[in-house]
Structure 1
């Protein structure tokens, strides 16, 4: 509990919440003290952690008349909102008789950073500025534009843009930066670029806004071109492009840029680590992921929740589920994403029973599962062959947990039934789906027909896959294998002929290997690796030794030689 010496004074009760009213009722009729207590208020605000603390601090302010000072009241509103009590902060603001533009800006900033409803209130409050006889300044526009981004209200954003021109503030760097961020976040990157090109003096924040806009759009070539042109870069610049590569499933480029970032002595922060861990998870780069984990520990980086979640995901996808469990067990605070990630990791490693036990722990911890959690649960059932358990979770998702089954859940259930040999039930579930089956659904049926040698089901699935992904060679190969397993060689050859006639190319096989924190990719017939000649020489030597002992196996060297 906050402790402070309370004076025996009184003040107006306007704008005070119920908690503050109860607090002040003990001190009615006592004298008001001047604002010399302002330094104490700052200390009290730093020690606020819950709503009771906020009530006491507000009462402390009112008793001394500190709530009449716009600057001090602004600090109170900012602290209250940062603790998640923006509704209370807004209530206090609305009872202020003459708020100045600084107070308006503080309240707009607080509301724009909160939930969607508060973002709407931020825009409403911005519109009230002129009615109060005030004029928006260079802080008003960036704050309200954050609310525009949260609501994706680009039309209102263009109105604000025109107002910045009318007030003559459109050339201010922080205003232009906010406009570029708004247009980029709302998908209007060409508009953002026109603004960027029209600015004569650009700081690193402005460059970052434009680079991030292209990266989020997925135009990584332009993002990289701008990045390379930047006169100076900070950690945000690097992180924007690294994250862009990771999000577009280009982990090699992401990790390569991260290494360049290290060579240029740029210290990564938590967000940069989050981006590169995502790339490590995609590549299965365990050594680099472990190095990043050690770096986080050594440099005392703040372990934000998403960073711990990313570590769990990286370890699980890179093959070290034990380490993923260690990170999970060490976490003091978890979220539904944390639980879902560890459940999915256990399922990925074939530990279906352990994944279901973890889900039971999640329920005991009173963490409500979401739709992604059930994808992980059904996947765990599929890997463990737990058909009855999978049926129960699938059928009770809606009634017990309030989660509406989506096409991904149907896909998991069809995969579960298909793997277990319940092919007709899987086929019937496809017919009953309220969604149009996609390639993943028909692919699951085709894979199941391959496992259980059901040519009729394989033909049925492939007919649909012809239309959905006509150039996927794997689908043709599966059906050909089914025919071959049944001794139907003519049909198997016919499928191969169809592939040739329709110019369907077989995707080359490939593999990854991590050596000294670096991931190397090898594809059949690809000679682009810088050390190809040396690798080929070593593999030929190994093959020669294998022949001497009577063991010959076609491996990567054979694919390379046949290129």
Structure 2
């Protein structure tokens, strides 16, 4: 691959000028200016010119014609490196991938240059053309581990984990990038079981995980409640001297919090010499997750005392904490100081937290007024919070109003119908319950049972509502009965009705 020539001062000025080009005529003038000065042989300048072409020339074929004129004057590897710098959304609407492929075939570079072929695979993947990328991949005479990784990463970005795993399992050899790509894909797609399974295979294979793999498997451990494996990763991080890597330590805190190991999470937090706003936010969100609102508030105040400015996610965490423990006035105060003190404009998620907070407190009119007056369009989370509040406080009219919006936003979410059905059932409005059941059947909706998981002795056990297949079900029920008896003996009274009104499958 030819090295990139240094940019002269005049080409540096052109590089800064290209984003300000206002017309296709100016684009052609800039193109003509850089050619005799060799600017087309530098990936950064070529990429800026291509970006200007995509921005100024609306027709994809005209853009591709201009790109082809550039390509004829440079080595394909330079062009590919330039194209790789372009924003994916612009690449997806252009014909650069097929145009470049056609020209490379004519010049014989696809057949003779493995690096060019791998780069073309990557370009097709970035354009969102996984099938074309796979065709180029199959036509490659020699596929090194880089080419395999590029194709697998393309499938992962497209969300096609089936084909990504198929290629991964077929690889003649793997490196740490191969393992990391698949583990990260499963973690991002919220398939933690597969992420953990591939990570364990990586351990057996003898490949040492890098920081990206460790971050991904920590996310999976948190989702699964796999604290034993998460603890192993924590020890591995410490043993490899990675304790100064703030993102890794943040992920460890998050994992411990999600697994219910609150003291361990706090211990890791206190042991960190340097903390980011994400570190503080992770701990505050963990306290909120477990209903420890007062601890979350104290941590937020400590954060302020140590001059660490909260961000928008921090406010989501503290508003959630206030909501879970009924700190309504404090929640209102935090919502107000977002803009007045920290100059953070509330987003729809912050309004959702406030609606949830007011709804839980029984301030239904205030919650409705907030939704009506908010400058943003209410999303499903906000209407869902209103529906949940209506369920808690038995307000059927509000529940029906919320469901109308939810049906429009989430037509296939059966849980919304069930919440309103429970309101009707508690008010003995059986005709309305029947109508909702009929509406669910007409839409083909079924009540999806909830599930939870826990790790015991290195094995993850999953429990699904109304599933009696677990081998230790009898013993589990005995323990639950014992817990229930002990709770009643200390005066605990359930706030839930004796009869469950949820619509069953059928």
Q: TM-score range by the shorter chain?
A: 0.7 to 0.9
Q: State the Cα distance separating 1:413 from its structure 2 match.
A: 0.7
Native 8 Å contact 1:270 1:303 kept in 2? no
Native 8 Å contact 1:288 1:518 kept in 2? no
1:257 counterpart residue number: 198
1:502 counterpart residue number: 440
Native 8 Å contact 2:417 2:440 kept in 1? no
Give matches, 1:76-225, under 5 Å: 136-137=74-75, 140-141=78-79, 143-148=81-86, 153=91, 155=94, 158=97, 169-171=109-111, 172-225=113-166
1-structure distance, mates of 2:104, 2:247: 36
Correspondence 1:518 to 2:456: no
Q: Which of 189, 192, 217 is equivalent to 1:248?
A: 189
Structure whose alpha-carbon radius of gyration is higher: 1
Correspondence 1:342 to 2:301: no
1:239-295 Cα distance to aligned partner (Å, 9 max, x none): 211111111111111112222222222222211111111111112222221111112
Q: State the Cα distance separating 1:346 from its structure 2 match.
A: 2.1
2-structure distance, mates of 1:400, 1:218: 41
1:330 counterpart residue number: 271
Give the TM-score normalised by the residue count of structure 2.
Answer: 0.73
1:453 counterpart residue number: 394
1:167-205 Cα distance to aligned partner (Å, 9 max, x none): 654442222223322332342323322321221210111
1-structure distance, mates of 2:161, 2:452: 25
Native 8 Å contact 2:257 2:265 kept in 1? yes
Give the TM-score normalised by the residue count of structure 1.
Answer: 0.67
1-structure distance, mates of 2:206, 2:400: 57
RMSD of aligned C-alpha atoms?
4.4
Count of aligned residue pairs for this structure pair: 445
2:176 counterpart residue number: 235
Q: State the Cα distance separating 1:366 from its structure 2 match.
A: 4.8
Native 8 Å contact 1:473 1:499 kept in 2? no
Higher relative contact order (CA 8 A, sep 6+): 2
Unaligned 5+ segments in structure 2 are 17-36, 55-68, 489-505
Unaligned 5+ segments in structure 1 are 1-70, 78-86, 92-98, 124-130, 552-562
1:274-318 Cα distance to aligned partner (Å, 9 max, x none): 111111111222222111111222344575332222112111111
1-structure distance, mates of 2:211, 2:194: 19
Native 8 Å contact 2:164 2:182 kept in 1? yes
Measured at CA, do residues 355 and 160 of structure 1 come closer, stay the same or move farther in structure 2, by a change above 3 Å? farther
2-structure distance, mates of 1:420, 1:540: 33
Measured at CA, do residues 444 and 275 of structure 1 come closer, stay the same or move farther in structure 2, by a change above 3 Å? same
Q: State the Cα distance separating 1:465 from its structure 2 match.
A: 3.0
2-structure distance, mates of 1:507, 1:355: 33
Q: Secondary structure at the match of 2:463?
A: strand
Q: Which moved more, 1:374-383 or 1:537-546?
A: 537-546
Q: Which moved more, 1:162-171 or 1:349-358?
A: 162-171
1:203-243 Cα distance to aligned partner (Å, 9 max, x none): 11100111111112111111111112211112211221111
1-structure distance, mates of 2:315, 2:224: 25
1:377-419 Cα distance to aligned partner (Å, 9 max, x none): 2212212322223223323433433333222111111001111
Measured at CA, do residues 526 and 451 of structure 1 come closer, stay the same or move farther in structure 2, by a change above 3 Å? closer
Q: Secondary structure at the match of 1:148?
A: coil
1:3 counterpart residue number: none
